[in-house]
Amino acid sequence: MTSFETLLRRVCALAAFVGVAAILALMMLTVVTVVFRAIGIAFPGTYSLAELLLIPAVSFSLAYAAMQNEHTRVTLFVDRIKNDRIRRGLDGIMTLLGTLFWVAIGWATIKEAIRRGAQGELSPIINVPVAPFRWAMATAIILLCIVLVFQGIKLLSGREVEEHPHGGDYTQ
């Protein structure tokens, strides 16, 4: 494994940690809200805070799933090809073409972050700035694009994209 790949795997593992932390925070927020409602105390802003926590929960998990080769794939046609080099080449081309979609999403996210950041957008009720969450999403999508380009190039060069190399140990 190259040093770039090791670094990329570590960054993706850190991104996954951020995503899991956001999911845990969302879970705790839900539990606290339900408990408080049961005893008659309203917790305003739960919906707004949950919206903000979903952004890192989803976006940072995408790069990790792609790095682990766990994202959704339709391999009905490609799996029937017996020649490994042709199969990997087609898989690499499809990965790179699919990356174009994420580049468009990333570009739109950056444009929206700039536009809304200039407006000083705040979340309703709790008045939390939304800009850091928008930029976090843009960062996560850029990381996803880097992972997909890396994997596409790897496949086009004839190498297989491993699933869970070293059992998740990124120090090797």
The answer to whether 128 and 122 are in contact (CB under 8 A) is yes
pLDDT for position 95: 87
Query: What whole-number percentage of the chain has pLDDT above 90?
Result: 56
Q: Dihedral angle at the C-alpha atoms of 110, 113, 116, 118, nearest 10 degrees? A: -90
pTM flag (> 0.85) = no
The 10s digit of each residue's pLDDT in 137-162 is 999 999 999 999 999 998 888 777 76
